Amino acid sequence: MSETNKATIEQYRNSFLSEVEANVEEGEWVKMCMQCGVCSGSCPLGKHWAHPPQEIFMMIRAGKRDEVLASDSMWMCTSCYNCVVRCPRQLPITHIMHGLATYAKKLGLVPQNQPTAKFAEIFWNNMMKKGRVNELKLGLSLYFKDGFGAGIKESLRNKDLGMKMMKAKRMAASEFFGGHGVKDIGGVQKMIQKAQEIEDARMKKFD
Range 145-151 contact pairs with CB under 8 angstroms and sequence separation of 24 or more: 145/115, 145/118, 145/119
| Smallest distance, other proteins to C-beta of residue 82, A | 9
- Please state, in angstroms and as integers, the Cα–Cα distance from residue 100 to each residue in 122, 141, 151, 166, 174, following that order: 19, 25, 30, 38, 38
Q: Smaller CB distance to other proteins: residue 86 or 105?
A: 86
Query: Which listed range, 86-94, 105-113, 142-150, 162-170, lies at the site for other proteins (CB under 8 A)?
Result: 86-94
Q: Smaller CB distance to other proteins: residue 77 or 117?
A: 77
| Smallest distance, other proteins to C-beta of residue 80, A | 13
Q: Smaller CB distance to other proteins: residue 40 or 134?
A: 40
- CA R_g for the chain: 21
Q: Which helix (DSSP H) or strand (DSSP E) does residue 149 occupy?
A: helix 148-157
Query: Which listed range, 3-11, 23-31, 51-59, 181-189, lies at the site for other proteins (CB under 8 A)?
Result: 51-59
- 45 contacts other proteins (rule: CB under 8 A): no
- 35 contacts other proteins (rule: CB under 8 A): yes
- 46 contacts other proteins (rule: CB under 8 A): yes
Identify which of 107, 116, 39, 84 has the alpha carbon closest to the alpha carbon of residue 51. Answer: 39
Does residue 56 sit in helix, strand or coil? Answer: helix
Q: Smaller CB distance to other proteins: residue 47 or 202?
A: 47
> What is the widest separation between alpha-carbon atoms in the chain?
78
* 172 contacts: CB under 8 Å, gap ≥ 6: 136, 166
Binding residues (CB under 8 A) for other proteins: these are 34-38, 40-42, 46-47, 51-52, 54-55, 85-86, 88-90
